Amino acid sequence: MSKIGRKPIPLTTAKVEIKGSEVFIEGPKAKFSHVVPEQIKVELGDGSIIVSTTDDKLTKETKSLWGLHRALLANKVQGVQTGFEKKIKIVGLGYKAVLSGKKMTFSLGYSHKVNYNLPDGVEVSTDRTGQKLTLKSPDKFLLGNVCSDIKALRKTEPYKGTGIMFEDEVIIRKAGKAKGAA
C-alpha cells in the first residue's frame, strides 16, 4: 500500500468540489483544477480529502500514481490556503536585482544587464540592497521553475562562492591554486 497516498489531505480554508475525475480546489489565494487518472479515486471526508485506488490488485504503477496524485493535490491545497515562498540571495560585488512591475533587471557582472519577465502568479520582493529576493506563489511548480530560471542567470562559482543561490543552500568551496613547494 502507498504510504504517501493513504494520508488524508487536511482542509482548512479551501473549498473542494469533485466532478468525475476532475477535482476543483478554490481558496483565498488561488483556484486550481486537477485531473486524476482512472485508477485513482478522490473523496471528501470530514474536513479532508481522501485519495484511494479503484484497482483491486495494486500494481507498481497504481501505487506510484496514487502517491503522485495525492502529493500533487496536497500541494495545490496548500497553495490555495497559504501559498509557497522561496528565498534567493545574490552574492557578489555589484551583483543585484531591481524590480519594476513584472520585470526584473539583474546586474550580474556581465557586460550587459539581464532582463527577466515574471510570469503571472509569482510575486517578488527585494530588500533595499537588491541582493535578497523573496518569491511567493500559490503554484509550487511555477515557483520552482521561476527560481530555477533566476538561478541559471548566474550559476554559483565554487572558488569565490559568488552567484545566485537559495538562502539555505550550502556551496562547497574549492581550494584555490596552492603555492608550489620550492
Domain parsing of the chain, residue ranges:
9-81, 84-166
Residues in the chain: 182
pLDDT at 151: 95
How far is the C-alpha of 73 from the C-alpha of 54, rounded, in Å? 17
Per mean pLDDT, which range of 36-40, 57-61, 169-173 is the poorest? 57-61
Q: What is the pLDDT of residues 73-90, one digit of tens each?
A: 999 999 999 999 999 999
- Which residues on adjacent β-strands are paired with residue 164? 90
Q: Residue 2: is its pLDDT beyond 60?
A: no
Residues near 85 by beta carbon (within 8 Å), at least 6 away in sequence: 134, 135, 136
pLDDT at 154: 95
User: Residue type for 61, please?
Assistant: E
Q: What is the pLDDT of residues 129-148, one digit of tens each?
A: 999 999 999 999 999 999 99
Asked if residue 9 lies in contact with residue 74, where contact means CB atoms within 8 angstroms, the answer is yes
Q: Does domain 9-81 have CATH number 3.90.180.10?
A: no
Could you tell me which CATH number the domain at 84-166 has?
3.90.930.12
pLDDT at 162: 93
Q: What is the pLDDT of residues 10-28, one digit of tens each?
A: 998 889 999 988 999 999 9
pLDDT at 177: 83
Question: 9-81 with 84-166: one CATH topology?
Answer: yes
